[in-house]
Amino acid sequence: MNLEGLEMIAVLVVVVLLVKVLEQFGLLEAGNDDSVEDELELSAVRHRPEGLEQLEALTRFNRKELQILYRGFKNECPSGVVNEDTFKDIYSQFFPQGDASTYAHFLFNAFDTDKDGSVSFEDFVMGLSILLRGSVQEKLNWAFNLYDINKDGYITKEEMLDIMKAIYDMMGKCTYPLLKDDTPRQHVEIFFQKMDKNKDGVVTIDEFIDCCQNDENIMRSMQLFDNVI
C-alpha cells in the first residue's frame, strides 16, 4: 500500500484479515469439496445453529454454501461458538511480530451482534454474508460499526486512535516497516481531514460512506471477496 492510501488502512485491514480468517477455517479451499453432508451436523455441540432454510432466508448464501461454511466453522469450533480468547488466538497466528489482541477484540465485538460474549455460527455467517455478498453500503455500514466503539452513531478521534494503535500493535514494525516513521495520531488526523466534512470533530455514518465511496482504494477492496465462496 502506498503512502497516499495509508490513512484508509483501518478500512482496508478488515478485508485483509477476513481473508485470513477464511483461510484459518479452511473455507477458501472448501468450495471444491463435493462431499459436504446434505444437512448441518448438530450432534455434540453446545450451540445448535438455526436450520438451513432460516439461514438461507437471513443471508445471501445458498444451502450448499452454508454447509461448507458450517463444516469449516465446526472443525475449528466443535462447541458451536467462538469465545474472544479463541478469536484472539486465531489472529495471533498471523501476526507473530506484533500483538493482535486489541484489534481482535474490536473485530470480535463487531461479529458478536447480540453481545453475549461469544460468536455463534449464525453471528459468523451473518457477518460474512454482509462482507462477502452485501452491497458496498452494507459493507461500509459494517465497517463503521466496527470503528464506532461505543455504538453512539459517531466515530470520534479517540475511537479512531484506539483502532489505529491496535493496527500498529498488530502489524508490528518488523511486519509493516512502511509505518515505522509515522504515528497513529498523524494518521487519525489525515483520516479526519478527509472524513469530517463539516469539521465538527466527529465522523457520521453519512460522512464515512460518502468518503469511502469516493476512494478508489477502498472501492477496489470491496471487490476482493466476490468469488471467495
Enter the DSSP assignment of 8.
G
Tell me the HSE value of 167 on the side-chain side, using a 13 A CA sphere.
Answer: 28
Percent of the chain with pLDDT over 90: 21
Which residue type is seen at 2? N
Enter the DSSP assignment of 137.
H
159 touches 147 (CB < 8 A): yes
Q: What is the end-to-end Cα distance of the chain in Å, rounded? A: 26
- Identify each DSSP E strand in 157-222 by its residue range: 202-204
Whether pLDDT at 90 is above 60: yes
**Which has more pLDDT, 98 or 159?**
159
Q: What is the pLDDT of residue 11?
A: 47
Ordered by where they begin, the domains of the chain are 3-35+48-221 (1.10.238.10)
**Which has more pLDDT, 184 or 33?**
184
Q: What is the pLDDT of residue 34?
A: 45
**Which has more pLDDT, 38 or 152?**
152
Phi, psi of 218 (to 5 degrees): -70, -40
d(CA 217, CA 224): 11
Whether pLDDT at 8 is above 70: no
Q: What is the mean pLDDT of the chain?
A: 76
Whether pLDDT at 38 is above 50: no
Helix (H) or strand (E) segment spanning residue 110: helix 101-111
Tell me the mean pLDDT in the region 153-166: 92
Whether pLDDT at 37 is above 50: no
**Residue range 95-142, pLDDT digits in tens:** 788 898 998 899 889 889 888 999 888 888 888 888 888 888 898 898
